[in-house]
Amino acid sequence: MAARAARPAHARGAAIITDQCKAPVVYDLLHTEPGSAARVGILHTPHGDVPTPVFCPVGTQATVKALAPRELLELDAHLILGNTYHLYLRPGADLIARQGGLHRFMGWERALLTDSGGFQVFSLQALRVVDDDGVTFRSHLDGSEHRFTPERVVEIQEQLGSDIAMVLDECANPRDYAYNVAALRRTHLWAERCLRAHTRPDQALYGIVQGGVFEDLRTESAQALAQLDFPGYAIGGLSVGESKAEMYRILDLVAPLLPAARPRYLMGVGSPEDLLEGVARGIDIFDCVLPTRLARNGAVFAPDGRLNLRNAAYAEDPRPIQGGCACYTCQNFSRAYLRHLVMAREILGLHLNTIHNVHFLLQLMRDIRQAVLEGRFLALKETFLGRYRVADAGAREGNRQAWRQRNRHQP
């Protein structure tokens, strides 16, 4: 199945315009586990059904780094994310539209989600000016000036043709109350304008709850957006420096305020422990660069916690990363070999580590989904977290700093 489906539609002689499916994006909630908010559903999209809860690997520049679409199919990824900010700047949404849309352009036949570009614009603090109408920013590539308004980011995402698009929101410093009040007012105005501007019937537009770490603002945001009747809701502005306890507290508060029949998407969150804690609070969709970024740094997920393959302890370790793992990497290669590739800076090392890390999270989500259906999710969560050593805050911050140093121009 994977080999056949991996060929882009045009390679099979399909019509030139392949992304004009008229099916809407509909969520079916199938089951909620008694005793928790964990739930199982299916997101029906014009590019296939997405079983939820689901983890989306991130394809920032129309590619999940170090993986071909064929490998993502073999890993059975159902939904991947593209970054509007990056694709708008390079190669440009017009160009991608002329090439038949983002699915065709990147050879990916399953479902795609695009963010609004807001997160990147607002994380480049020095490069942007925001007003009630929109945000003006400079390109990190060439310094050229650009403007995003709610209408413009909807138009760009319609050109890209993703199955799920996101409203433009303002990501504020999560601890600055006064600023969050102003940003939230704009975010809600922009959400209404995005809804009015949206025209593609084959694309769903999701709203985004903001409000930093403040319970009153988060409540206000969830209630205001729920009134607008979006087909799905994201929770944004988390995993941006607040503690895990704060993030879980906000999820406890916000998730029950969102309509139960609509999917809930926790943006930018994807460590194994956060996937479990998020599902436990009723989250259906997650995305994060973590598995692919860690893999490129030589760090891989294992049931006891992350392994850093640079560690000399693995120099002659004949075992796979994870005994019993079904991924191509673990089926064929030892920790010693993978460590060698990392130390020698061989491209294959990035590729093999990425396969394992993406598989690890996708398999965790499949296990979670099955456990919810069988009423044993809480037991699975307890067992997994009882064994998995969570990377501490210092290590997480160290990873972020190291990555920022190496990628100063990749917001």
Where in the sequence numbering do the catalytic residues fall? 115, 287
Q: Which of 76, 30, 24 is nearest to 54 (CA)?
A: 76
Smallest distance, Zn ion to C-beta of residue 78, A: 19
Nearer to Zn ion, 77 or 327 (CB): 327
Smallest distance, Zn ion to C-beta of residue 397, A: 27
**In 228-334, where does DSSP find H-type helix?**
244-254, 272-280, 290-296, 328-332
Contact 135, 121 (CB under 8 A): yes
- CB count within 10 Å of CB 192 equals 16
Nearer to Zn ion, 18 or 329 (CB): 329
Smallest distance, Zn ion to C-beta of residue 334, A: 12
Which residues lie near Zn ion (CB under 5 A)? 325, 327, 329-330, 356
Nearer to Zn ion, 197 or 364 (CB): 364
Nearer to Zn ion, 200 or 306 (CB): 306
Question: How far apart are the C-alpha atoms of 135 and 129, rounded to whole Å?
Answer: 6
Nearer to Zn ion, 209 or 350 (CB): 350
Smallest distance, Zn ion to C-beta of residue 346, A: 18
Contact 117, 171 (CB under 8 A): no
Contact 167, 116 (CB under 8 A): yes
Q: DSSP class of residue 389?
A: B
Q: Which of 41, 40, 37 is nearest to 27 (CA)?
A: 41
Smallest distance, Zn ion to C-beta of residue 59, A: 21
Smallest distance, Zn ion to C-beta of residue 256, A: 36
Nearer to Zn ion, 47 or 339 (CB): 339
Residue 384 backbone phi and psi in degrees, to 5: -65, -50
Burial 115-146 (b: 16+ CB within 10 A, else e): bbbbbbbbebeebbebeeebbbbbebeeeeeb
Question: How far apart are the C-alpha atoms of 36 and 366, rounded to whole Å?
Answer: 18
Contact 286, 270 (CB under 8 A): yes
Sorted by sequence, the CB contacts under 8 Å of residue 47 that are 6+ apart come out as 21, 103, 109, 110, 111, 112, 163
Question: How far apart are the C-alpha atoms of 218 and 247, rounded to whole Å?
Answer: 12
In DSSP terms, which residues pair with 130 in a beta bridge?
Answer: 135
Nearer to Zn ion, 86 or 359 (CB): 359
Stretch (H or E) spanning 264: strand 264-266
Smallest distance, Zn ion to C-beta of residue 322, A: 5
Q: In 3-state terms, the chain is what percent helix, strand and coil (to 5)?
A: 45, 20, 35
